[in-house]
Amino acid sequence: MVPKGGMNKMINQDFYIKQSIITDPGQYTKEYDTLPDSPKELLHIVQGLVIHADQGDLYGVAFSQRQTDEELLRTVPQMLEKIFQIDKSSLTVMRSPKQRLVGMCRDYSLLLISFLRHKGIPARLRVGFADYFDSALMYEDHWLVEYYNVEQNRWVRMDAQLDDAQKKHFGISFDTEDMQGSEGYLLAGQAWTKSRQGERHQDDFGYNKNWKGWHSVKGNLLHDFNSLQGLELLPWDLWTELSTKKFNELNKDEKALLDEIADLTTSPNTTVNELQNLSVRLPGQYMEAIKSKLVVLDIVENTRTIDPNDLEPKFQITDTKIDPKAIFPNVGNDNGQQLILKGGRQNNLKNVDVTIPKSKLTVITGVSGSGKSSLAFDTIYAEGKRRYLDNMSNAAKMQDQVEKPDFDSLQGLTPTIAIEQKKGSQNPRSTVGTLTGILDYLRMLYVAIGTPHCPYCGKQVVKDSKSKNRCIDCDILFQALTSSTFNANAHVGACHSCNGLGYLYEVNPDAIVMNGDLSVLDGATYWWGKLRGKKPTGNWMVGELYAIAADMKVELNQPWKLLPTRFKEAVIHGTGDRIYNYTYNSNGRDTVISRPASGAVAHIHRLFREAKSADNPYKQYMKEIPCPTCNQELLCPEARYTTIMGYRLPELTHMSVSQLWNWIGCLQKKLPVSKKEVAADILPEIEMRTANLIQVGLSYLTLNRTAPTLSGGELQRVRLSSQLGSDLVGLTYILDEPSIGLHPRDHHLMIDTMKNLRDKGNTVIVVEHDKDTMLAADYIIDVGPGAGVKGGEIIAAGSVDDIINHPISATGRYLKGIERGVLSTCPQPIKWLSLMGCTGNNLKNIDARFPLHSMCCITGMSGSGKSTLVFNTLVPALNEAINGKRFINKTYKGLEGYDDINDFVQMDQTPIGKSSRSIPATYIGVFDAIRILFTRQGDAQRLGYGESHFSFNSKDGQCSVCEGLGQIKVALQYMADHWSTCPECKGSRYKEQILDVTYHGKTIADVLKMDVSTATAFFAGVKDIEVKLSILEEVGLSYIKLGQSTTTLSGGESQRLKLAKELSSKQKKHMLYILDEPTTGLHFQDIEKLILIFRKLVEANHTILVIEHNTDIIRAADWIIDIGPDGGEAGGYIVATGTPKTIMNHPYSVTGKYL
């Protein structure tokens, strides 16, 4: 006789012994042959294969982005593929923490369930909430395993995630391998019922503070319901109407159905049949929707797909001939008021009084370090920000933390917005489209009037319900279009194969071998390098090479190309399960280990996976594979197969801004009236934002251009274009050299943009050295006369004519045209560096010749291809030729003439250091000498102070409160964090007793507050310090503070600091210096100094290659390569080459007209 409920248990056992579509190992089934039979042994194997994404610290591991993305894997075969990619060993071999698959509780549980089912043990995934973690919530989202113990006739609950390290960390004492009763765990059905009955508040349950409450409880309830039917999907794969509806939108019947699900999923006697019968009764074709999702995710194979470009015909895009400026109204708001500053003393300002007219365009100019930024940013903008914070609700708490700039009074100040010239986000997911908001509105447009098609037959899908569309022919449901559908950064919108990145990485074995004519010992491969003369026990990867050679009796002295194929395959791809004994040196001792030989490919993949930096040394061995699912379009099928009159969103993101402008113009003529009405509020927003980008000279950019690839000037103009679309008036805009990166021909675009902001009724203050901008200004303030302590005074202020006619204003003489760079008269170059077949980005298969031992200037319109030629093509070619690096996807055919170069230095505008602890004194290498000088003072020797006591990075000397930063971070809601002076050390960075030691009356903190000019005079006679500081003065950095954070430097300042470091180091005979707009931030007087440095380097037989728009630098060059004729696709050609005089007379060179 079968006991009560026994038949149900038997039926359920049969169902849960079978692998589900998610847990079936597929091609990896044979790898399960070595697994043990015991559930507890299987659990421990899983814990040796997976590591939790949030618990790396427990195992001494920090994860790269590539590793954390592994938690997005959906099926067991996907997990096993990654596990064996990392380590080919048997599943029973415990991996080190670094080599485990990074996952979440679901990953542990799914893998264990797959193992258990393979062993004939009924197992199922359970979804609920646990209270035994360190969490801001009472119960945290957590998924477990239940397996059926036949002998005990019961389901046993196991927490697969909790190994000994985690149990110790969380203080768990109960048996996690057999969780009797609740023991801190509630099934989702229990959480639902308790919340409904008021025993618990729904906000007690959730994943984190942002994802909690009813949507979390309901979501887990439905996931538990699905998992009990063998559909163990990821949380965001649930898109049925019951899951997407908010709790307060559910009707009475729907809540009753959810109550019934809760009862069934928590009852011990529920059969799978009952669950399946209930799913049929759920609204919105519940199970059909989930099964359709399996097809869309390629979990259920559907081989019939069509090319998304063949969905419907496109209209032809033509030039609309519409002037972008025509959509901007001229408001004209001159209220005659003034911004009045009295007694400005911030930084080097000398008690200045300044009056700035409101609703006008004012330029603040002067030599570098004269006090322009101190006036504009550190006084006016900083005070505007402080007053804003004073009006926030937490003002009382912050009153003592947000410092007031040093001045007596500032009247007439309106809300301030600063648009600075700094590098921005390094996140490749941040693009021009996202930064400007154009992509947001395009998504809205596609949701509003897009036509969705079926990816499998190409026919238009029809609306099936509020949340779903249906293909009638294929009988497949698709999620209805929302903005998230078109967002590659959202789980629902990202391609499920590449997670919205557009490409996959795999090791390229061809990149490992450098020269087949050489032996392995002499450097035939990049991977092992040169081994001759080195210990064969250098590391275990080298030991592996020698072990295989010894086993196969291979002589490593012969050329690689003559080695046996069997040996080459073994060392590149590994030898499977074959065990080798080999030796490597660890902590000075030779250690013998026995293990299979993984091969170079596996080692490279492992190290690339673990590398934190995007630009890591293992990338040279990898090749980018376009994602086979989305073909680099980043998006899910529903988004990629949606059109507007034939055009899909991925196609629009590849267009240049000017092409998009024309597309919008043509679309508005072609759209039916009904669709035009639906999109009436969206189209003008796209049109305006596109026009804004054209207005600021960025018509050549594409929407998918990533933020890290934008220059500081481009990024500033992108931000400025966003402000143009604002309806706010009465603001004070403060801009930092907006002309940077613009060709002289396009200066009027930026000037028109600033005038447009002014004409809307805003006050525009610009820190600028550009002549055209100054001539267009309503008012000019000339700060000087020198830099640092020699500056900080107002030399002249007034209209353009006032400045021109001022007797002592150097700026006035410059505007008159008296100060003008002279043309270079150097002889014709003799030796050349030749780069052939350049095709990167918009380059049109060009050949470029760069003169050696000369100063060569690369010129051209913004976006013409200058940076692509120099930094994306020439630099990789030099790295390959001189440094032996290997680049697979080369965008050039060859490089000749590099034998005359000993080495090269690339100096771009990327920030120096990521930490605020990096300062100019340490970067230039002078701080060590300064600290040694302080240790030699009598007080230091008496107190026993060494070098570490004078380092703010050492606990011996640093202030214990701010840890040597001199500042405390104040977290602000809705705003970037604010830094305020440390109340303990008052900004000195040091312990009080360290400041008892002085050198010529100055403490180490005093020295760090000195600008370079002051410090040079202070350390006169101390040769090793004075020499390096004088070089900083020569490159125009006399005004920067020795102790200011390098993260505060502009792109131009960072570049000149890099140049100073190179000049102060021991130089090789023939160096090639590559610079990108080094005049950024320089007054024309400072540019003259920079030209002198370049000339000295050339006279010393070095080569200068500089990308520049500044006409003084161009005129001083020995040779010019002019790229164009325009930006974007209209660029990429070499328009002209020659001396400045040649370029001036060239009929097609736009640059020549401005020389």
Cis upstream peptide for 1125 (omega within 30°): yes
Q: What is the pLDDT of residue 712?
A: 67
Which stretch of 622-626, 744-748, 1040-1044 has the lowest confidence by average pLDDT? 744-748
Summarised one tens digit per residue, pLDDT across range 535-556 is 766 677 788 888 889 889 999 9
**Helix or strand holding residue 126 (H, E):** strand 123-130
Residue 621 CB neighbour total at 10 angstroms: 25
Confidence band, pLDDT 50/70/90 cuts, at residue 686: very high
Query: Residue by residue, what is the 3-state secondary structure of 480-533?
Result: CCCHHHHCCCCCCCECCCCCCCCEEEEECHHHCECCCCCECCECCECCCCECCC
DSSP 379: I
Could you tell me the CA-to-CA distances from 117 to 121, 410, 767, 924, 1004 in Å, in that order? 5, 75, 70, 63, 69
Using CA atoms, how far apart are residues 720 and 724, in angstroms rounded to an integer?
Answer: 7
Q: Class of 915-1048 per CATH?
A: mainly alpha
Q: Give me the mean pLDDT over the 438-457 stretch.
A: 94
At 700, the amino acid letter reads: Y
DSSP 3-state of 1041: strand
Confidence band, pLDDT 50/70/90 cuts, at residue 748: confident
Of 138, 136, 63, 137, which is closest to residue 104 (Cα–Cα)? 63
DSSP string across 732-745: EEEEE-TTTT--GG
Of 599, 341, 650, which is closest to residue 495 (Cα–Cα)? 650
Joined together, the tokens standing for residue 931 give 């600290």
Summarised one tens digit per residue, pLDDT across range 630-682 is 999 999 999 999 999 999 999 999 999 999 999 999 999 999 999 999 999 99
* Residues 6+ away with beta carbon under 8 Å from 251: none
Summarised one tens digit per residue, pLDDT across range 710-721 is 876 788 788 888
| 797, pLDDT greater than 90 | yes
**In this structure, which topology does domain 506-626 adopt according to CATH?**
Helicase, Ruva Protein; domain 3 (1.10.8)
Confidence band, pLDDT 50/70/90 cuts, at residue 8: low
Q: What is the pLDDT of residue 1089?
A: 84
Of 1119, 1126, 1051, 1104, which is closest to residue 1082 (Cα–Cα)? 1051
Please answer whether residues 372 and 767 qualify as being in contact, where contact means their C-beta atoms are separated by less than 8 angstroms: yes
Q: What is the pLDDT of residue 327?
A: 62
More confident residue, 514 or 1066: 514
DSSP string across 805-870: T-SS-HHHHHHHT-S-PPPP-PPPP--EEEEEEE-STT--SEEEEEESSSEEEEEESTTSSHHHHI
pLDDT over 70 percentage in the chain: 92
Please answer whether residues 17 and 64 qualify as being in contact, where contact means their C-beta atoms are separated by less than 8 angstroms: no
| 1136, pLDDT greater than 90 | yes
| 862, pLDDT greater than 90 | no
Which stretch of 255-264, 309-318, 863-872 has the lowest confidence by average pLDDT? 309-318
Q: What is the pLDDT of residue 289?
A: 86
Confidence band, pLDDT 50/70/90 cuts, at residue 77: very high
At residue 966, what are phi and psi to the nearest 5 degrees?
80, -5
Q: What is the pLDDT of residue 302?
A: 72
Confidence band, pLDDT 50/70/90 cuts, at residue 398: very low
| 823, pLDDT greater than 70 | no
| 363, pLDDT greater than 90 | yes
Confidence band, pLDDT 50/70/90 cuts, at residue 399: very low
DSSP 874: I
Confirm whether 432-502+628-694 and 915-1048 share one CATH topology. yes
Q: Give me the mean pLDDT over the 120-136 stretch.
A: 92
Please answer whether residues 822 and 1116 qualify as being in contact, where contact means their C-beta atoms are separated by less than 8 angstroms: yes
| 3, pLDDT greater than 50 | no
| 820, pLDDT greater than 80 | no
Using CA atoms, how far apart are residues 861 and 865, in angstroms rounded to an integer?
Answer: 8
| 764, pLDDT greater than 80 | yes
Q: Give me the mean pLDDT over the 816-826 stretch.
A: 64
Using CA atoms, how far apart are residues 533 and 600, in angstroms rounded to an integer?
Answer: 21
More confident residue, 135 or 1139: 1139
* Residues 6+ away with beta carbon under 8 Å from 83: 49, 91, 101
The CATH superfamily assigned to 432-502+628-694 is: ABC transporter ATPase  like domain (1.20.1580.10)
DSSP 1135: E
DSSP 3-state of 58: helix
User: Residue 33, class by beta-carbon neighbours within 10 Å (0-12 exposed, 13-18 middle, 19+ buried)?
Assistant: exposed
Q: Class of 820-911+1050-1155 per CATH?
A: alpha beta
Using CA atoms, how far apart are residues 1075 and 1056, in angstroms rounded to an integer?
Answer: 9
Confidence band, pLDDT 50/70/90 cuts, at residue 2: very low
Which stretch of 348-357, 648-657, 1027-1036 has the lowest confidence by average pLDDT? 1027-1036
| 1138, pLDDT greater than 70 | yes
Please answer whether residues 976 and 952 qualify as being in contact, where contact means their C-beta atoms are separated by less than 8 angstroms: no
Q: What is the pLDDT of residue 720?
A: 83
Q: What is the pLDDT of residue 325?
A: 64
Q: Give me the mean pLDDT over the 394-410 stretch.
A: 67
| 1, pLDDT greater than 50 | no
Which residues make beta-bridge pairs with 478? 469
At 631, the amino acid letter reads: N
Summarised one tens digit per residue, pLDDT across range 250-284 is 999 999 999 999 999 999 889 999 999 999 899 87
| 78, pLDDT greater than 70 | yes
Q: What is the pLDDT of residue 395?
A: 43
pTM: 0.79
| 448, pLDDT greater than 80 | yes
Q: What is the CATH number of domain 338-372+398-424+712-816?
A: 3.40.50.300
| 4, pLDDT greater than 50 | no
Q: Give me the mean pLDDT over the 399-418 stretch.
A: 82
Burial pattern 664-694, b for ≥16 Cβ within 10 A else e, equals: bbbbeeebeeebeeebeebbebbbbbbbbbb
Which stretch of 198-212, 441-455, 737-751, 999-1013 has the lowest confidence by average pLDDT? 737-751
For the chain, which residues make up each domain, given as ranges?
6-159+183-296, 338-372+398-424+712-816, 432-502+628-694, 506-626, 820-911+1050-1155, 915-1048
Which stretch of 326-340, 342-356, 742-756, 866-880 has the lowest confidence by average pLDDT? 326-340
Q: Give me the mean pLDDT over the 573-577 stretch.
A: 84
Summarised one tens digit per residue, pLDDT across range 585-608 is 666 677 777 777 889 999 999 899
What is the average pLDDT score of the chain? 88
